[in-house]
C-alpha cells in the first residue's frame, strides 16, 4: 500500500443483513461506497462478497488496492483477540470462523477486524456525535443489543476482544431468566432486544392481555412489535405501559451502572428500537439519570448517533489507521 | 526533584482510620514507611499529618525531598478530575475539599492524587497479583465497597476521575432500595459493605430471625457482624444462609456484569469482608463464573491481592512516575 494510504482507508461493515464497503478520508468523509444484501451467509460466500465490494469501491474511486492505507472490518459478532476469529456471530450463524485470516488471505493485505459496534463507537468518537471525546460509551438497541467503549481516547476491546458486550449483562438471575440467543439466561438482550421484545409483546397478546397493543397494530397480529407497544403505551394501555416501563428500567439501570463504573463524558444511545420508540428512549434516559452515580451523571451528556448507517464503515476505516 | 527521582518515589495512602507513607523503588520495594492513626480528620490536620509523615519517611531514608522522583497520594473518596479535588470522602467526612492543592502548597512540589483503590489496583497490576497484566478489575469489599480499573495497561479514571465507583452500582431500584452512605438508594455498598452488612445482620437478629447468628456470636449482640453471619451460615442456619446468598448474588452479578462489559484478564477480589468470610468469597466467585459472559469468564482468573496493606502506598508511589 502506498503514499495515498495516508489519505484513504477502506471500511467494511458486516451486519446480519447487509454488507457495506466505503472508502473514507482521514477526516471521515465517505468518497465512495457500496451496499449489498447478504442472502447466503456462509463464511466463504461472505468473504467473496467482501472482496467484490472492495473491488467495486476501488473501481468507483479509480484507485488500485495498493493506493489504500489500510482496511478495517466491523463484524456483528464476538471476536477473540485481534486476529479476527469470530467466536459467535449469532445473526450470521457463525461459530469459530477464522474470518480475519480468510479476508487477509483473499485480499492479500493486512486487515483489522473488530466488533461492529466497536467500529461504530470509534466512528462516532472520531468524527461523529462525540467527536474528539476521550471517554465514550455507545449502546445500540436494535434487533440485538450491543455496545462499544472508547476509554482514554482509545478503542477498548479487553483481553480477548470481547469488551462492550452490553447485551449479555445479566438483568435477571436464576432459572427463571429468559433464554437468550447466546444460550445463556437472563441477558439484557433477551428482554429488550428488538427480536425478543417482539416475542414478549406477542406473548402478552397471546395471554389475552394485549388488547390495546393489538388495536395499536390495527388488529393485525403480524404488525405487533415495539412500535405497537409504544403506541399502546402512549395511548394509556396499562399492560403496554408496564412492559415498556420494565424494558426502560432494565436498559436504564444497566446503562446507569456502566456510567457509574466508567464515568464517560458521552453516552451515545442508538439502534432501531430506540429510534422507533421515542417514549421508550425518553424513559431510558430518565432511568440512566436517576440510577447513575450523581457525580458521574452530572458530567454526562446523552447523545443520538450522528453518522447514521455510516458509523460502522467510517469507524472501521479510521481504525485501520490505528493498527 | 533530582536524579535519585528516577529511583525512588513516595506513596501515601489516606484511609478512613490510618495515614500511611512509604518510599518505594521503581520495582515496588518499600524502603521506608510510617503509619499513623487519624483521630482528627479535618483537612488541614490531615495535610499536616501527611507532611509530617513525608518528613519522617525522608528522615528514615536519609534523603531530602529534592531527591525524590514524585509523590502520589491515594484518598478514600470520590475525586474530580486530576487536580485532587475530593468531592465526597464519606469516611473522612469530607465534601469538596481541594486536597491536592492543599498538599501541593504544603509540600511545595507536584503531587498526583487518585482514589485509594485506583492506587491499589495500579500497585497490584504493576508489582502484585496481576503483575504486568493489561486489563485488570479490582474490587474491594471492606467497610465500604470500591474498585479500580487498569484498562489497556493504564489506570482508567474516567472523564471526571470517578471511574471504578463499584460500590454505587445499583442492585435494587426504586424507593424500597436501602439508603446508602452516599445519600442515594439501592447501591451495592448499602447491601454488602461491611458497615451495612453488620446493620443488616443486626436487623435480622432484632426481628427475632437471627438466633443462629446470635449463637455464632457467642450470645453477645456486640459481636454480631459478618463473621457471625459466616459462622451461622456454615453451621446451616437457614436465615444466615439466605442473607449470605443474597450478599453473594448482589456482589457476584455486579462483578460478573463488569467482567462481561470489560473482558479483563484478572479480577482481584479483596478487602476485609471477603478476607474474613471465606464461604462468602467462594460463593461470590461462583456467582461471577455463573453470571459472567461465557467467553469472558473463560479468559478470566480470579486472584487474591498480593500486596496486602501496602498495595495503596506502592500503587500511589508508582503512579507518581506516570503523571
Residue A234 belongs to domain with CATH number: 3.30.420.40
Query: Which residues from chain A sit within 8 angstroms of residue B184, using beta carbons?
Result: 293-294
Q: Is B266 left (phi over 0), alpha (psi -120 to 50) or beta?
A: beta
Residues B117, B175 share a domain: no
Report the percent of chain B where pLDDT is more than 90.
81
**B129 against B77, higher pLDDT:** B129
How close is the nearest chain B Cα to the Cα of A131, in Å? Answer: 15
Task: Specify the pLDDT at position A323.
Answer: 60
Burial of A275 (0-12, 13-18, 19+ CB in 10 A): middle
Give how far A61 is from chain B: nearest CA, Å: 36
Q: Tell if the CB–CB gap between B253 and A173 is shorter than 8 Å.
A: yes
B68 closest CA partner among B78, B77, B79, B57? B57
Helices A43-61 and A99-107, interaxial angle, to 10°? 40
Q: What is the value of ipTM here, to two decimals? A: 0.93
Measure B66 CA to nearest chain A CA, in Å. 32
Of A4-8, A80-84, B118-122, B173-177, where does mean pLDDT reach its minimum?
A: A4-8
Same domain assignment for residues B76 and B139: no
Q: What's the mean pLDDT in B216-224?
A: 89
From B101's Cα to the closest Cα of chain A, the distance in A is 20
Q: For residue A160, list chain B residues with Cβ-Cβ distance below 8 A.
A: 263, 295-296, 299
Q: In this predicted structure, what is the pLDDT of residue B233?
A: 95
- Tens-of-pLDDT digits for all 323 residues of chain A? 444 546 899 999 998 789 999 999 999 999 999 999 999 999 999 999 999 999 999 999 999 999 999 999 999 988 887 789 998 887 888 999 999 999 999 999 999 999 999 999 999 999 999 999 999 999 999 989 999 999 999 999 998 889 999 999 999 998 999 999 888 999 999 999 999 999 999 998 888 888 899 899 998 888 988 999 999 999 999 999 999 999 999 999 999 999 999 999 999 999 999 999 999 999 999 999 999 999 999 999 999 999 999 999 999 999 998 86
Q: DSSP readout, A122-164?
A: HHHHHHSTTTT-SSEEEEEESSSEEEEEEETTEE---TTS-TT
Say yes or no: A144 and A120 in one domain.
no
DSSP codes of every residue in B107-125? HTS--EEEEHHHHHHHHHH
Which of A88, A165, A260 lies closest to B168 in CB terms? A260
Q: Which residues of A touch B154 (CB under 8 A)?
A: 152
Give the integer Cα–Cα distance in Å for B5 and B1. Answer: 6
| pLDDT over 90 at B221, yes or no | no
* Residue to test with chain B: of A138, A139, A295, A322, most B Cβ within 10 A: A295
What is the count of residue pairs from A and B with beta carbons less than 8 Å apart?
134
Torsion angle defined by CA atoms of residues A191, A178, A168 and A254, in that order, rounded to the nearest 10 degrees: 50
Same domain? For B112 and B138 the reply is no
Instruction: Measure CB to CB from residue A162 to each of B182, B254, B263 and give the nearest one.
Output: B263
Across the range B39-64, mean pLDDT stands at 96
| Phi and psi torsions of B74, nearest 5° | -100, 130
Distance CA A281, CA A140 (A): 11
**Does position B1 have pLDDT exceeding 60, yes or no?**
no
- Tell me if A203 sits within 8 A of A224, measured CB to CB: no
pLDDT for residue B136:
98
Residue among A159, A168, A262 whose CB faces B158 most closely: A262
Residues B117 and B152 in one domain: no
Q: Are residues A297 and A150 in the same domain?
A: yes
Interchain CB distance below 8 Å, A184 and B294: yes
Residue from A138, A147, A159 to probe the interface with B (highest B Cβ count within 10 Å): A159
Helix (H, G, I), strand (E, B) or coil at A309: helix
- B20 and B158, same structural domain? no
Which residues partner with A13 through β-bridges?
A20, A74
Q: Are A99 and A47 in contact (CB under 8 A)?
A: yes
Domain tally for chain B?
2
Question: What is the predicted pLDDT for the residue at A2?
Answer: 46
A299–B160 CB contact, under 8 Å: yes
- For residue B316, give every residue at least 6 positions away whose Cβ sits within 8 Å of its Cβ, in sequence order, or none: B11, B12, B13, B72, B73, B74, B112, B114, B119, B122, B123
Q: Report the pLDDT averaged over residues B215-229.
A: 90
The pLDDT, as a whole number, for residue A6 is: 62
* Set of chain A residues whose Cβ sits within 8 Å of the Cβ of B149: 261-262
B19 and B163, same domain (yes or no): no
Q: In terms of residue numbers, what domain contains A244?
A: 131-305
CB contact under 8 A, A151 and B156: yes
Nearest to B151 among A147, A156, A299 (CB): A156
* Nearest Cβ partner for B295 among A78, A135, A149: A78
- In this structure, the answer to whether residues B203 and B80 fall within a common structural domain is no
Q: Is A58 left (phi over 0), alpha (psi -120 to 50) or beta?
A: alpha
User: Residues A38, A99: one domain?
Assistant: yes
d(CA A218, CA B262): 43
- Clarify whether residues A261 and A155 are in a common domain: yes
Decide if A162 and B134 are in contact by the 8 Å CB cutoff: no
Residue with cell 493504564: B154
| Residue A138 sits in the same domain as residue A119 | no
Judged by CB atoms closer than 8 Å, whether chains meet at A169 and B294 is answered as no
**Spatial separation of the C-alpha atoms in residues B112 and B83, rounded to whole Å:** 8
How confident is the model at residue A256, as a pLDDT? Answer: 98
Q: Do B263 and A299 touch (CB under 8 A)?
A: no
Amino acid at each position: 500500500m502506498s503514499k495515498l494510504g495516508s489519505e484513504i482507508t477502506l471500511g467494511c461493515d458486516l451486519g446480519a443483513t447487509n454488507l457495506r464497503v466505503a472508502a473514507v478520508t482521514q477526516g471521515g468523509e465517505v468518497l465512495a461506497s457500496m451496499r449489498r444484501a447478504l442472502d447466503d451467509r456462509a463464511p466463504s460466500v461472505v468473504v467473496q462478497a467482501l472482496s467484490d465490494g472492495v473491488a467495486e469501491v476501488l473501481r468507483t474511486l479509480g484507485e488500485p488496492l495498493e493506493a489504500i492505507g489500510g482496511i478495517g472490518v466491523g463484524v456483528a459478532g464476538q471476536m477473540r483477540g485481534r486476529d479476527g476469529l469470530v467466536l459467535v456471530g449469532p445473526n450470521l450463524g457463525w461459530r469459530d470462523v477464522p474470518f480475519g485470516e480468510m479476508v487477509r488471505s483473499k485480499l492479500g493485505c493486512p486487515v483489522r477486524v473488530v466488533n461492529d459496534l466497536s467500529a461504530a463507537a470509534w466512528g462516532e468518537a472520531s468524527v461523529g456525535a462525540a467527536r474528539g471525546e476521550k471517554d465514550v460509551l455507545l449502546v445500540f438497541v436494535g434487533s440485538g443489543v450491543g455496545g462499544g467503549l472508547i476509554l482514554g481516547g482509545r478503542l477498548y476491546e479487553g483481553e480477548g476482544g470481547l469488551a462492550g458486550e452490553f447485551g449479555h449483562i445479566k438483568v435477571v438471575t436464576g432459572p427463571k431468566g429468559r433464554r437468550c440467543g447466546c444460550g445463556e439466561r437472563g441477558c439484557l438482550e433477551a428482554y429488550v432486544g428488538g427480536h425478543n421484545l417482539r416475542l414478549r409483546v406477542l406473548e402478552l397478546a397471546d395471554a389475552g392481555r394485549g388488547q390495546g397493543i393489538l388495536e395499536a397494530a390495527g388488529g393485525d397480529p403480524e404488525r405487533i412489535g415495539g412500535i405497537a407497544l409504544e403506541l399502546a403505551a402512549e395511548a394509556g394501555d396499562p399492560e403496554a405501559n408496564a412492559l415498556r416501563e420494565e424494558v426502560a428500567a432494565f436498559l436504564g439501570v444497566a446503562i446507569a451502572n456502566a456510567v457509574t463504573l466508567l464515568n464517560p463524558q458521552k453516552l451515545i444511545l442508538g439502534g432501531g428500537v430506540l429510534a422507533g420508540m421515542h417514549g421508550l428512549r425518553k424513559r431510558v434516559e430518565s432511568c440512566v439519570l436517576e440510577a447513575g452515580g450523581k457525580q458521574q451523571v452530572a458530567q454526562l451528556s446523552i447523545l443520538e448517533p450522528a453518522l447514521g448507517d455510516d458509523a460502522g464503515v467510517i469507524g472501521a476505516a479510521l481504525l485501520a489507521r490505528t493498527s
